[in-house]
Amino acid sequence: MRTWSKGSEEINKLDDEIKSLLPIVCTNCDYRDNFNRRIFSINLEPENKLDEIQVKEIMNRKLKVMHFGTFVGEKEQYLTAAKCPKCNSDDVFWDY
């Protein structure tokens, strides 16, 4: 799993579709300003419920991310996550 941060040279290598996706609103406190987004490239598409559970456990245990989205791009599959800077919730609605 790879992750990119704002300003990274690797951002330019991402699918155009994923680069245009943005976090819109925190569903916990209704914050709607700037979010730091995190994009994770995964090399394996979860094929069954067990795979999905393992991905959720890894995201929670290693990265402390409970809520994330899945996006299938032209080249790779991605997981998207953001934290609200106001309340620190990761339950954020994205513009998919």
Give Cβ neighbours of residue 23 (< 8 Å, ≥ 6 apart).
35, 37, 80, 82, 92, 93, 94, 95
pLDDT at 72 over 50: yes
pLDDT value of residue 14: 76
Tell me, yes or no, if the pTM score tops 0.85. Answer: no
Domain count, the chain: 1
Residues 2-47 have pLDDT tens digits of 444 555 666 777 777 887 888 999 999 999 999 988 888 887 777 7
Query: How many residues belong to the chain?
Result: 96
Dihedral sign (CA 55, 57, 63, 64): positive
| Segment 60-85 mean pLDDT | 88
Which amino acid appears at position 65 of this protein? V
Structural domain that includes position 75: 2-94
CA distance 91 to 51: 22
